[in-house]
Structure 1
Amino acid sequence: MFKLNFKPGGKLFFQKLSIAVHYIADDKNIKNNLAVFEKKFRIKLTELQIKNILAKKYKQINITNIKGKPDQIILHKFKTDEKFSCDYFRNHLAGLIKDIKNDEVQFLHLFIPEFSAVKKYFEEEEYYYRTFLEGLTLGNYTFDKFKKEKEKTKNLSVIIFAQYEKLIKSAIAKNNIVSEGIFFTKDLQNEPPSSLRPFELAEIIKAKLTNAGMKVSVFDEKEIKKRNMGGLLAVGQGSNAKPRFIFIEYKPKQKTTNPMKIALVGKGVTFDTGGYCIKPWQGMLEMKGDMSGAAVVAGSMLAAAKANIPMEIIGVIPAAENMINGEAMRPSDVVKTASGKTIEVGHTDAEGRMILADALDFASRQKPDEIIDFATLTGACVVALGINAAGLFTKNDEIADDLFKIGMQTNDKLWRLPMWDEYNKENESKIADVNNDGGRWGGAITAAKFLENFVDKKIPWAHIDIAGPASANELTNYNKTYMTGFGVRLMFEYLSNKVNNKK
């Protein structure tokens, strides 16, 4: 892997052991733009090279062995058609850095196309620049903590040429901040359950976020009992590693008049066997990632603190293992939560909503302006939306619109599903206030409706089911190998925009 050092380019010159990446729009001006490219690099393309880059079947050509130039010049053609998206350059560069990871390259010269070519796809030019940096950064991620032989780390200077140097500097600073949050999230997600039990999750988060200036309180089993968090206790009682409840408080360094306060809540099931309603072994293989909601909250708050976002943010993480022993919860048990409401356990593998019941009640008691929760909650959401998007559940149109729009920019995509009260019938219990098994149909929706019972109705709330996109997938070059960190880019932009819109 590389140790990346981003810096804005000044006067154009090239070092040895270097690669240059230059983009060219496939439009009516492509021939003129090729002439500009030749002039910039002081080279003459061969007739074959010109024919190839103009041909529909070719997206790029590689130019090598030119004295006094980069060892390799990659000329990449892009087309702003119906297939183009805000993720285009991020995805391309994530693939490129993987391709060159074994090369001895020391310098990468990156030429960003003028914003006018893609303006209709991006809200801001600075964020457009950032997608290039994110691609290189995310594509460079690795998790080799448990390997005897680690990947060799090599220095790679990335010199960025774009229209506005000031925006490049801002993009570099924000990319460094957000990527730290994403990598913290991914590291937590990729940690095996043998070394990330509830108390270890709490210890790691507390150490990292305390060091970033936040206050982190961890409730042990005794304190959890004292606070009557029966949902969390019930899920965790089948494990020798007892549950933890993590409460994170971030306040900006600068004094702010009436700062907005947002609560982020994340499901922290560090491993999920399904309990007595046990999963098949294939279904357990990715269950180390059932704490992804907790990881997203921790990573998002780390990025927010590093950026010193001027709002108050609280993080609420219930952490438990859903295991099986003589004390484990049983189907048909009735559990009393911190809210006073009771839950009939219709299914022990619907445990995430039970620990979130206590967490959402706790978050509501802090009187935030909004609550947003993240959870790998239901396989039903993956059935409905696939791995391409997370499910978004809220009755607040403004929150839904903002999150959807930002998701399209960041490629942390969301799709809104209904929250009609007709679905409440599926969660009814004859002996308790609510049943945790809403039945087979509309399972992602009935899970969200279950959670709604534990949120203060006066507080705007959104539930984001990340069961699909949290796991490694083949959709992008930067998510193929490891858990994805889905949600951190989304939250960083959402929180930043909240502050900017309030000004």
Structure 2
Amino acid sequence: MEFRCTPVSLSDWGGDTLAVGLAQDDHGPLQQALEARFGPDLSALLEQRRFKGKAGDVLTFTLLGQAPAQLIVVGLGEAQAGDVAGLRSAAAAIARAAAACKASDLGIALPSDGLDPKAAAQAIAEAVRLTLYADQRFKSEVEPAAVPGSISLLGLPESAQAGLDGLGAICSGVELARQLVAAPPNVVTPQALADTAAEIASTYGLELKVLERADCEALGMGAYLGVSQGSALPPKFIHLTYRPAEGASRRLVLIGKGVTFDSGGYNLKTGGSQIEMMKYDMGGSAAVLGAARAIAELKPDGVEVHVIVAACENMISGEAIHPGDILTASNGKTIEVNNTDAEGRLTLADALVYASGLQPDAVVDLATLTGACVIALGNEIAGLWSPSDGLADALLEAGRLGGEQFWRMPLQASYKEGLKSPVADLKNTGPRAGGSITAALFLQDFIEAGPAWAHLDIAGTVWSDKGRGLDPAGATGFGVRTLVEWVSQGGPA
């Protein structure tokens, strides 16, 4: 797919398929231009087909003997200036309709009032490319891709083309994250995550350090190693580093939970627990590796980025941890394991201690951590916890610009009572009520004083059973665009 911005209007454009967005009950400039080109009968035809311009309305017309030969009309809902989320949704709907009618030269006319033209171009192009992504790696018969070869963003100045400069890097990062999450656990193992990091490092000149089990033992990573000890596959502690050529004034750390399969351990996941889907429990690691791939290609100035993944499996065997075991993390804190299915926070505990030792300005961790967050926020919104207002606001804004939704949740200090253990410094789970909050409070215990810190619980957003917006059914690659946007802005905290 090749994207280009052009000031040419829909009245003058001459490709094979034209797509136009119309607002609800708004006879605006785009509808007037459509009527001027295709005649006054178009409005009657739209009314006959009961098109109201509501969000989600999509009609496709075949125009015999005309150019364009196909017309796609999508509803935008109530017109709102500066609505980048609505722009993305409309572009995603156009992409699906264009694929269905096998468009080859597609022109897209969408209103972008109140938006910087470069931001509008980026939002539309990202939505189209990511909507048309299809993962067919594990199918014996591959279906031919029905994607337009040329896509013109109509009515945008040529200067808006600069908004597409990072399109390939960002979308490739999201697609990498989708591929990692979608692959089965016999393909994406701890070693496979290390290999992915090695490929990124080799291709883009990043630094890579992979700590083996003995290295982690030497650092006292008892919490992380406790989770990994039940698996026949060795753990891999991955540390990937981007350093800008001209030096950096800020140092950021991105940590992704990397449990490549989570059986639940002796607190085994049973019927209804989606154990067969626990390949996506490494969604946090997929997001940070996807972000690393994009950042390495974009090469932002002035910011040094460290990507950390404590990769392992949580399995059952004669060597697996028992409920009731006490583990000692690398900062010396002891943890009573009252639930072996709360393993992700144990791996993150040692990763956070390690990250703190890098003396960063800010640390952000992403994890498919709790079902409680899914209950609270559903499958479209991720939870955000941070004691830093500046970092929280920066991540919320980065998510808005990247088309990913977060909701800031409380770090209620009194809830930490639920993590007290009679035999250790703390337990790895608290009461059922407020489970996503106590999980965040547990993690906070392993961040040393100094760096700003945020925890993102993406348990509900890394996978979509039926697809939503620009995400196909399956892995979404959630988190990559937010991280890239935040780092590109210098990682404000």
Give TM-score scaled by structure 2 length: 0.92
- Residue 273 of structure 1 pairs with residue 263 of structure 2: yes
Cα distance in 2 for residues equivalent to 1:388 and 1:50:
32
2:385 corresponds in structure 1 to 393
Deviates more, 1:444-453 or 1:172-181: 172-181
Cα distance in 2 for residues equivalent to 1:324 and 1:367:
36
- Find 2:323's aligned residue among 317, 331, 334: 331
1:94 corresponds in structure 2 to 92
- Residue 49 of structure 1 pairs with residue 40 of structure 2: no
- Listed as ranges, the gaps of 5+ residues in structure 2 are none
Cα distance in 1 for residues equivalent to 2:226 and 2:490:
37
CA contact (8 A) 1:386 1:468 kept: yes
Give TM-score scaled by structure 1 length: 0.90
Q: What secondary structure sits across from 2:416 in the alignment?
A: helix
Map 1:217-296 onto structure 2 (within 5 A): 217-253=209-245, 255-256=246-247, 258-283=248-273, 284-296=275-287
Change (3 A) 1:408 1:334: same
CA contact (8 A) 1:388 1:475 kept: no
- Residue 367 of structure 1 pairs with residue 363 of structure 2: no
Offset of residue 47 of structure 1: 5.8
2:462 corresponds in structure 1 to 470
Cα distance in 2 for residues equivalent to 1:76 and 1:346:
52
2:488 corresponds in structure 1 to 496
Percent identity over paired residues: 31
- Listed as ranges, the gaps of 5+ residues in structure 1 are none
CA contact (8 A) 1:215 1:250 kept: yes
Map 1:390-469 onto structure 2 (within 5 A): 390-469=382-461
Deviates more, 1:53-62 or 1:331-340: 53-62
Offset of residue 28 of structure 1: 5.3
CA contact (8 A) 1:87 1:410 kept: no
Change (3 A) 1:145 1:51: closer
- Residue 378 of structure 1 pairs with residue 375 of structure 2: no
1:106 corresponds in structure 2 to 104
Change (3 A) 1:55 1:395: same
Cα distance in 1 for residues equivalent to 2:271 and 2:305:
38
Map Cα deviations across residues 119-150 of structure 1 (whole Å, 9 max, x no partner): 2xx5x432222221122111111111111111
Map Cα deviations across residues 34-79 of structure 1 (whole Å, 9 max, x no partner): 333344x465544623645896377455443253411102233424
Change (3 A) 1:153 1:345: same
Change (3 A) 1:43 1:29: closer
Change (3 A) 1:55 1:219: closer
2:477 corresponds in structure 1 to 485
Q: What secondary structure sits across from 2:470 in the alignment?
A: coil
- Find 2:17's aligned residue among 15, 19, 27: 19
Change (3 A) 1:64 1:416: same
Q: What secondary structure sits across from 1:259 in the alignment?
A: strand
CA contact (8 A) 1:53 1:77 kept: no
- CA RMSD in angstroms comes to 2.4
2:158 corresponds in structure 1 to 165
The residue identity in structure 1 corresponding to 2:34 is F
Map Cα deviations across residues 440-479 of structure 1 (whole Å, 9 max, x no partner): 1111111111111110122110001111111114472433
- Residue 197 of structure 1 pairs with residue 194 of structure 2: no
Map Cα deviations across residues 154-189 of structure 1 (whole Å, 9 max, x no partner): 56211222332111x122222222101100111111
- Residue 5 of structure 1 pairs with residue 36 of structure 2: no
Cα distance in 2 for residues equivalent to 1:352 and 1:104:
44
The residue identity in structure 2 corresponding to 1:49 is L
Offset of residue 81 of structure 1: 5.2
Map Cα deviations across residues 176-218 of structure 1 (whole Å, 9 max, x no partner): 2210110011111111001111112211222134312211111
Cα distance in 2 for residues equivalent to 1:294 and 1:33:
43
Map Cα deviations across residues 7-34 of structure 1 (whole Å, 9 max, x no partner): 233664424xx2111223446553x643
Deviates more, 1:19-28 or 1:359-368: 19-28
Cα distance in 2 for residues equivalent to 1:392 and 1:104:
40
Change (3 A) 1:192 1:68: same
CA contact (8 A) 1:267 1:291 kept: yes
Cα distance in 1 for residues equivalent to 2:256 and 2:58:
42
Cα distance in 1 for residues equivalent to 2:32 and 2:326:
74
Cα distance in 1 for residues equivalent to 2:192 and 2:33:
56
Cα distance in 1 for residues equivalent to 2:300 and 2:286:
19
Offset of residue 350 of structure 1: 0.7
Offset of residue 420 of structure 1: 2.5
The residue identity in structure 2 corresponding to 1:264 is L
Q: How many residues align?
A: 485
Offset of residue 305 of structure 1: 1.6
Deviates more, 1:355-364 or 1:18-27: 18-27
Cα distance in 2 for residues equivalent to 1:213 and 1:414:
32
Cα distance in 2 for residues equivalent to 1:42 and 1:415:
45
Map Cα deviations across residues 214-238 of structure 1 (whole Å, 9 max, x no partner): 1111111121212211111110100
Q: What secondary structure sits across from 2:383 in the alignment?
A: strand
Map 1:308-323 onto structure 2 (within 5 A): 308-310=299-301, 311-323=303-315
